[in-house]
Structure 1
Amino acid sequence: MNLLFTFCARAGSKGIKGKNAGDLAGLPLAYYTFAVIELYKEAHPDDDVDVVLSTDSDELMKLVEASGIGHLNVGRPEELAGDKVAKIDAIRYAFQEAESRTGKRYDAVIDLDNTSPLRTLDDLERVIKKRCSSVVPVIFTVVPARRNPWFNMVLEQDGVCKKVFESDFIARQQAPEVFDMNASIYAYSREFMQSDAPLSIEGCEYVIMTDTGVLDLDRPEDLKLMEVIAAYLFDNDQGMHAVRQRAEKLAREKESRGGGLIRQG
């Protein structure tokens, strides 16, 4: 199977300045994503895997180059670099450029979000396995939601609170199970990549991940909290530990190439 992994990240960030080229627990944030790709390649040598980087960040380009991981850098055109540009447009651009430059025909495109780095090889394998057996356009990862719009979520209407969805449920267990989309892994069909259809979750499928490993990096406080969660997971979760070890190996490659030392978190 021909797989294309896309890594799309902008230089600009309003919440955490330069976060895509920043650090997590003493290592470049991006290395955790590339680490799980490397683990997948080792576990599935029969798959033909390519990695494409699409960014307008010179610093991120240097980090990836210094790691020694094989990749195709297609840049990121100015019209795709704004914060109001849909990410799917950048992914499609990366897909089209990769096929044009390599001459390959990719069966699926797997996008890994840089700011949701706490994923394991098992998470990735389950998404790809479902992608191979499914005909839906998109498969994405979710986590069990800690709040439920039928039970303990409210909105303001006419100056007072009301439930998001009216219901008579008196216990959380009675309400329909809901999930948070965590943006960690998206697996797109070739047909969807070739179309110009907007990304919609309707009619798609999902894979459930562990919720403790998921946190959006939107504010400086989020990064501090993720540091704490990551430290725990690296010590106590075998899958996360394997990703950390591989990320450290990429950092050592960076050091040997003169890219600087592993930084202490």
Structure 2
Amino acid sequence: MEPPRTATVVVDDGTPIAYHCWEPDAGADAHPVPVVLQHGFTAHTMVDWLDPGTVAGLTAAGRRVVGVDARGHGRSGKSPDAARYGERRMATDLLTVVNVLDVPAFDLVGYSMGAVIALLAAATPAAVRRLVVGGVGAGIVEVGGVDTRTLPNGRLARAFLAEEPDDLPPEAAGMRAFAEMLGDDLPSLAAQARAVHRDGIDLAAITAETLVIAGDADPLAVRPHVLAEAIAGARLRLVAGGHDVIGSSPDFRSAIIEFLSR
């Protein structure tokens, strides 16, 4: 693919937020509504959306695509201060990027942490036409955000700051190893882990046509039907796999593209 046009907007607290833009493929029937993508925890736009082929599938379908790097991730600003994090703060960042795009409406896709961000954004008066949330389930309704019952946020924060990572629980060790492989800023990730959203989301305020999608063996997205039933008119799609379906499942990618192309 052609490299994206990458830009940065400085939001109200002084944090630079990077976003990456791809235009529809030459010859494709261009769609007027852009697709905004929000990645998951420890990842960034390129890892979650470009490398697995989701961006390519969307641009081939005529969509303009914008991927937002959440604060503390990718090319966006970093800080070890937990007070500067949380998915509600990240939703404000995302909406600031959308305001810069100056579009009347947009489709929004988020995964895991990004799904929480997307739900919070869609619960505002923002002009979200269609919404896709993946990698989350009943925890959104029952816990108020990412399911910390499966992976407690305090344990995760300590894992990113541990001097002896060999002694970490397996699930936390895996997330730290992934973050280190990507060259992530570990203190920033620890700060976000401490600030994870637990205050609930006004799902009744979401008016966008919504798809909830999850791996059928994803421990962080158990009982996704509970979330789908809490959003008016939402559809549910299960694909084979765990929390890695965002990068490993062609069915995951095709379900998103099909839903947004209806």
Band the TM-score falls in, shorter-chain normalisation: 0.3 to 0.5
Q: Between the two structures, name the one with larger relative contact order (CA 8 Å, sep ≥ 6).
A: 1
TM-score by length of 1: 0.34
